[in-house]
Structure 1
Amino acid sequence: MPPKAKKQKEILQDERLQAIVLTDSFESRFMPLTAVTPRCLLPLANVPLIEYTLEFLANAGVNEVYLMCCNHADQVQEYIDRSKWSDVGSPFKIATIMSLESRSVGDAMRDVDNRGLITGDFILVTGDVVTNMKFDGALEFHKAKKAQDRNHIATMVLTQASPFHRARSKDDSACFILDTTNNRCLYYQDIPNYYLHDKKTKRKKRGNKAITIDPELLEDVDEFAIRNDLIDCRVDICTPHVPQIFQDNFDYQYLRKDFLKGVLSSDLLKKTIYAYITESDYAARVCNWQTYHAISQDIMARWCFPVCPDLSVVDEDDEMTYESRHIYKGSNVVLAQGCKIDGCTMIGSISSVGDGSRVGKSVIGKNVTIGKNVVIENSYVWDNAVIGDNVQLKYSVVANGAQILSGAVLNRDAVVGYNVTVGRNMTLKPNTRISAQRVKYNSGLSDNEDEEDDSLRDEAYVGEEGVGFAYKSDSESDSDTSSDDEDYSDHQFHIMDLKFDSLELSDDESIISATASKKKSRRQSSTMYETDFDEDDEEEENFEKEAIATVERAMENNHDLDTALLELNTLRMSMNVTYHEVRHATSSALLTRINHFVATQTLAVVPAVKKVLDQWGPLYRRQVFEKDEQVDLLNIFQILCSQEDVEPNGASFFFNIVQRLYDMDICEEENILKWWHQNEKAYEGDVKLVQLSAGVKKFVEWLENAEEESEEESD
Structure 2
Amino acid sequence: MAPKNKKQKEIVQDERLQAIVLTDSYETKFMPLTSVEPRCLLPLCNVPLIEYTLEFLAKAGVDEVYLMCCSHADKVQTYIDGSKWNQAGSPFKINTIMSLESRSVGDAMRDLDNRGLITGDFLLVSGDVVTNIQFDEVLSAHRQRRLIDKDHIVTMVLTQASPLHRTRSQSVPSTFILDKKTDRCLYYQDIPSINGLKASISVDPDLLEDVDEFVIRNDLIDCHVDICSPLVPVIFQENFDYQYLRRDFVRGTLSSDLLKKTIYAYITNEDYAARVESWQTYDAISQDILERWCYPIAPDSNLLEDQSYTYESKHIYKEKDIRLSQSCKIGSCVVIGSNSFIGDASQVENSVIGRNCQIGTNVIIKNSYIWDNSIIKDNCQIEHSIVASNSVINQNVKLNSGSVIGFNVVIGDNVIVAENTRIVERPVKHLSDSSYIGDSLSSDDEFYQDIQAKRAAEEKENIVEVDEGAVNDPAIVGENGIGFAYDSESEYGDYDDDEVSSSSKHYHGLVYKLDELYLSDTSIVSSMPNRRKKRRTYSSASHATATDAEHDYNNNTDGEEDDEEDFNKEAIATVERAMENNHDLDTALLELNTLRMSMNVTYHDVRLATCTALLQRIEHFINTQTLGVKDSVHKIFGKWGQLFKRQVFEDEEQVDLLNILESLCSKLPNNNGPTIFTLALNDLYDNDILDEVNILKWWNQEGYAGKDENTRKVASKWIEWLAEAEEESDGSAEE
What's the TM-score once normalised by structure 1's chain length? 0.65
Residue 234 of structure 1: which of 214, 224, 231 is its match? 224
| Helix, strand or coil at the partner of 2:28 | coil
After the TM superposition, which residues 189-268 of structure 1 pair with which residues of structure 2 at under 5 Å, given as runs?
A: 189-192=189-192, 198=195, 205-208=196-199, 210-268=200-258
The aligned counterpart of 2:165 is 165
| Structure 1 residue 122 corresponds to structure 2 residue 148 | no
The structural deviation recorded for 1:485 is: 12
Partners of 1:154 and 1:487 lie apart in 2 by 35
The aligned counterpart of 2:84 is 84
The aligned counterpart of 1:496 is 524
The aligned counterpart of 1:293 is 283
The structural deviation recorded for 1:60 is: 0.6
Partners of 2:150 and 2:466 lie apart in 1 by 54
Residue 448 of structure 1: which of 462, 467, 484 is its match? 467
Over 3 Å counting, the alpha-carbon distance change for 1:366 and 1:153 in structure 2 is same
The aligned counterpart of 1:518 is none
Aligned AA (2:413): R
Partners of 2:231 and 2:66 lie apart in 1 by 18
Aligned AA (1:396): S
The aligned counterpart of 2:296 is 306
The aligned counterpart of 2:95 is 95
Partners of 2:71 and 2:513 lie apart in 1 by 34
Over 3 Å counting, the alpha-carbon distance change for 1:485 and 1:311 in structure 2 is closer
The structural deviation recorded for 1:192 is: 2.0
The aligned counterpart of 1:338 is 327
Over 3 Å counting, the alpha-carbon distance change for 1:484 and 1:147 in structure 2 is closer
The aligned counterpart of 2:352 is 363
After the TM superposition, which residues 41-56 of structure 1 pair with which residues of structure 2 at under 5 Å, given as runs?
A: 41-56=41-56
Over 3 Å counting, the alpha-carbon distance change for 1:246 and 1:220 in structure 2 is same
The structural deviation recorded for 1:487 is: 4.7
The structure that is helix-richer by fraction is 2
The aligned counterpart of 2:485 is 470
The structural deviation recorded for 1:48 is: 0.3
Partners of 1:91 and 1:299 lie apart in 2 by 24
Aligned AA (1:211): I
Over 3 Å counting, the alpha-carbon distance change for 1:153 and 1:373 in structure 2 is same
Partners of 1:478 and 1:5 lie apart in 2 by 66
Partners of 2:158 and 2:523 lie apart in 1 by 19
Over 3 Å counting, the alpha-carbon distance change for 1:6 and 1:282 in structure 2 is same
| Helix, strand or coil at the partner of 2:101 | coil
C-alpha contact (below 8 Å) 2:420/2:510 kept by paired residues:
no
C-alpha contact (below 8 Å) 1:441/1:472 kept by paired residues:
no
Identity %: 60
C-alpha contact (below 8 Å) 1:396/1:415 kept by paired residues:
yes
Partners of 2:512 and 2:227 lie apart in 1 by 41
The structural deviation recorded for 1:469 is: 1.1
Residue 338 of structure 2: which of 349, 372, 385 is its match? 349
Aligned AA (1:175): T
The structural deviation recorded for 1:497 is: 6.5
Output one character per residue of 1:136-172: Cα deviation in whole Å (capped at 9) or x when no partner. Answer: 1110111111111111111101001111211111113
The aligned counterpart of 2:395 is 406
Partners of 1:487 and 1:122 lie apart in 2 by 38
Output one character per residue of 1:160-207: Cα deviation in whole Å (capped at 9) or x when no partner. Answer: 1111211111113101000011110000010225xx6x5xxxxxx332
After the TM superposition, which residues 674-685 of structure 1 pair with which residues of structure 2 at under 5 Å, given as runs?
A: none
The structural deviation recorded for 1:478 is: 9.6
Output one character per residue of 1:363-411: Cα deviation in whole Å (capped at 9) or x when no partner. Answer: 0000000001111010000000000101111110000000000001111
Output one character per residue of 1:516-571: Cα deviation in whole Å (capped at 9) or x when no partner. Answer: xxxxxxxxxxxxxxxxxxxxxxxxxxxxxxxxxxxxxxxxxxxxxxxxxxxxxxxx
The structural deviation recorded for 1:315 is: 2.7
CA RMSD of aligned residues (A): 2.3
After the TM superposition, which residues 144-163 of structure 1 pair with which residues of structure 2 at under 5 Å, given as runs?
A: 144-163=144-163
Aligned AA (2:149): D
Partners of 1:260 and 1:377 lie apart in 2 by 41
C-alpha contact (below 8 Å) 1:45/1:363 kept by paired residues:
yes
Over 3 Å counting, the alpha-carbon distance change for 1:388 and 1:478 in structure 2 is farther
Partners of 1:240 and 1:6 lie apart in 2 by 22
Gaps of at least 5 residues in structure 1 are 199-204, 501-715
Partners of 1:163 and 1:487 lie apart in 2 by 15
The aligned counterpart of 1:550 is none
The structural deviation recorded for 1:3 is: 5.1
The aligned counterpart of 2:475 is 460
Residue 263 of structure 2: which of 268, 273, 280 is its match? 273
The aligned counterpart of 1:517 is none
C-alpha contact (below 8 Å) 2:279/2:511 kept by paired residues:
no
The structural deviation recorded for 1:5 is: 4.0
After the TM superposition, which residues 265-664 of structure 1 pair with which residues of structure 2 at under 5 Å, given as runs?
A: 265-316=255-306, 318-442=307-431, 446-448=465-467, 454-455=470-471, 457-473=472-488, 474-475=490-491, 487-491=513-517, 492-496=520-524
C-alpha contact (below 8 Å) 1:389/1:406 kept by paired residues:
yes
The structural deviation recorded for 1:448 is: 3.1
C-alpha contact (below 8 Å) 1:429/1:484 kept by paired residues:
no
Aligned AA (2:15): E
After the TM superposition, which residues 666-677 of structure 1 pair with which residues of structure 2 at under 5 Å, given as runs?
A: none
C-alpha contact (below 8 Å) 2:339/2:355 kept by paired residues:
yes
Please say which structure displays the higher CA radius of gyration. Answer: 1
C-alpha contact (below 8 Å) 1:56/1:131 kept by paired residues:
yes
Over 3 Å counting, the alpha-carbon distance change for 1:77 and 1:475 in structure 2 is closer
The aligned counterpart of 1:20 is 20
The structural deviation recorded for 1:2 is: 5.0
Partners of 1:487 and 1:72 lie apart in 2 by 32
| Helix, strand or coil at the partner of 2:61 | coil
| Structure 1 residue 69 corresponds to structure 2 residue 69 | yes
Partners of 2:139 and 2:464 lie apart in 1 by 42
Partners of 1:301 and 1:499 lie apart in 2 by 36
Over 3 Å counting, the alpha-carbon distance change for 1:268 and 1:498 in structure 2 is farther
The aligned counterpart of 1:541 is none
Over 3 Å counting, the alpha-carbon distance change for 1:494 and 1:81 in structure 2 is same
C-alpha contact (below 8 Å) 1:313/1:319 kept by paired residues:
no
Gaps of at least 5 residues in structure 2 are 432-461, 529-735
What's the TM-score once normalised by structure 2's chain length? 0.64
Partners of 2:478 and 2:464 lie apart in 1 by 22
Output one character per residue of 1:443-463: Cα deviation in whole Å (capped at 9) or x when no partner. Answer: 7554537x6xx32x1111001
Partners of 2:511 and 2:67 lie apart in 1 by 42
Over 3 Å counting, the alpha-carbon distance change for 1:447 and 1:292 in structure 2 is closer
C-alpha contact (below 8 Å) 2:302/2:308 kept by paired residues:
no
| Helix, strand or coil at the partner of 1:212 | coil
C-alpha contact (below 8 Å) 1:211/1:498 kept by paired residues:
no
C-alpha contact (below 8 Å) 2:428/2:466 kept by paired residues:
no
| Helix, strand or coil at the partner of 1:310 | helix
Q: Report how many residues are paired.
A: 485
C-alpha contact (below 8 Å) 2:384/2:511 kept by paired residues:
no
Aligned AA (1:130): V
C-alpha contact (below 8 Å) 2:124/2:226 kept by paired residues:
yes
The structural deviation recorded for 1:495 is: 3.2
| Helix, strand or coil at the partner of 1:412 | coil
